[in-house]
Structure 1
Amino acid sequence: MTKHTDHFYRYLREWFTVFLPHQRAASPHTIIAFRDAWNLLLRYVADTRQIPLEQMTFEVFDRELVAEFLDHMTATRGWSATTRNQRLACIRSFFRYAASAEPTLAMHLAAITAIPQKKDPANTTIRYLTTGAITTLLATPDPLTKTGLRDQFFMILMYDLAARDAEMLTLTVGAIDTRRRTAELIGKGAKPRRLPITAETAEHYRRYTGALHPGSDPGEPLFYTTHRHRKTPMSDDNVARFLRQYATAAHQINAEVPERIHPHMLRHSRAMHLYQAGMPLEMLTEWLGHADPETTLIYAHADTEMKRKALAKITIDIGTDATPIPIWRDRQDIIQRLCGLAS
């Protein structure tokens, strides 16, 4: 075994025996899954590159080889997009560990990191709230207090716009135009988009700014906390905290409200409600600021899955299978006409 090979295997051994079980506290199941993934990768390299195991080095595992390995396993073993992405994450984890231990190996990590994950448009795992749950949640804060007024308006505006958490926290006082009833959001890649707001949301804005932004400069952060008598943009940790607080309280009133929610669930909820109300996917893509229209398909797939589950539930409730009873059952005359036997 050469020095460079020993270099590679030493870090691989440390990753399995020290980092994963002790520093990351990975479960035995996860470690076994990672071990199996690396066994497949090493065997693939030996078979396709004709490189003996004892001669493998960091240089061998370039972007092209790892991408080929993932594609090969997807084709021959039927890996789903989720499985493929998990295996890629496993490989990245090792290279990240090696690069942190020895910075000269960062170039190899960069090559592996450049391999994109595979999108799975069929993935319908999306959590969102019903319209009834949204109504309960938005009514939970006490608008007679400044904090309650702020938190309630934040949730109302976030839901109305289907905005990202980061987009909400960069809003300024002047970003809302109550006359035109629009809001200016700055999305990913500093890409702006203008969205409509409802008349009710515009009225909430007037009430909120009247209480918390009297005479404010249009450039001030719309949602803020005060530090040393200065207004600074509110943090995402603060948003997550008060959402958990109100969700817990709302759940006691309406069981449809999850006990724990995260900010993105308001965005998902509004997007699903817009889609279910008939908004075309092309328009929803623009509304949400998605760079790739494929990303928006998750709402169509999730809605289809919801309908499928509802149909299955109805089927179980009425005590029949999913096949409708044919109208010709026990009707010989209808069967004869269908078959052209009747005179």
Structure 2
Amino acid sequence: MRKGRRVSGHLYKRDGLWWVRWQSGGRRFYRSTGETSKPKARTKADEILAPFRALEERDTLAAIKDRLAGAEVSAQEAVDIVNRIPLREVWKRHPYDHSQPKRANGTIRELSPMNVAQNKRDWEQFIDWMEEEHGDLEAMQDVTPGLAQEYSDHLFKKKRVTAGRHNKLITTCNVMYRLAGVPSPFAGVTKYQTPEHEHREPFDVQQVEALLASAQGEMRGLLAVLYFTGLRAGDAVQLRHENRKDGKIVVRTAKSGSTVDIMEHPMLTTIIGDVCGDSKRGPLFPELAELYRRDRVGLIHRFNRLMKSALGDDFSRTEKRTGRGVKAIARFGMHSFRHSLATHCARAGVPIGIVQKWLGHASETVTRIYQHYSTEDQKQIVAAIPRLALPGMEDQGDIIEAEAVVETKPVDLHAVRELVDGLTVKNVVAVRKKLLAMLPA
């Protein structure tokens, strides 16, 4: 008996349009959806395939009826046949929209729409691979541990994803099986240990200049915000005009929940003005904010293409030998701008505590010491940021020097070092008073 399969089409692009390819009755069919958008093409493909799927379901039910009538299968086998879950229908039945319970407290929280959308894309990436490589296998129960390992190898060898990305994709597949109540073939797939140097490296000044010179429109504005503020990409891309107040950017960060108060660099003010024009309300970068909400990986890919164009091929990746061969590791990314700001300020002699306060990740001890964090402290960072040689902005250096003057404070550095070396949790208040007393009035 021919085993019932749900017709599942594979989308591919040709001449700017999405086409759908599928098999039915031993024959292969091709048809254009007439769409340039993949989501719309998927909807159109479902309409095209509906009659074929109806025929397949009819044949499957008829086959089950015949086998049951002929006592060819046990009751459990019949249940297994009926309970087969097509891969394309899993998300509709069991969306991955809540966090998985932790062993410690068992709490479950609702995921943000952005995270839910990303989980769906991760799951569909596996389905797309299955349809491309094993188009005759269309149900969850068809995926074996061997196929799960084959998918892992595909990510490792062909897609060359980072260790963290590989682990996220495999975890999503495991969760989808868990939600569906089906034993997961991904349970035995090895997770990669994230290499220490997978943390993004900082750009040097020339690289920052090249990126800003190559970027256009909203992307140029976003990169300027990333460098001149040190904000994380998620916070920067969602900035609104309302976050800009009295020459500062005030925003509550998504990761820590802390509110950062950042002095706006004159060069950043100019770039935002060029990008946003006369707008005074709403998102600074509406197109990129929507892209980030809908497909944050898409935003990363857009930046990676810009980085490749501005800095050269293979700039963003290096290779590291692991237990399973050579692995591609991302060295640079959007987060590199945050590291760049911190690095450039440190080289200019700005105290690390002031930099940490600016970036919004200071420890409790640093926070206590720098309770006097002020406008003058912020000016140290603005002045420490290297002057960038950007087309059309040659006169910005004078503005920066005029607005970000840092007064020289004649402090006994030897005495400061002695106080800092002897700093403990118990004497932090007393040391703070002594340090403040050493500052000129």
TM norm structure 2: 0.35
Which one has the bigger strand percentage?
2
TM norm structure 1: 0.43
Which one has the bigger helix percentage?
1
| Higher relative contact order (CA closer than 8 Å, sequence separation 6+) | 1
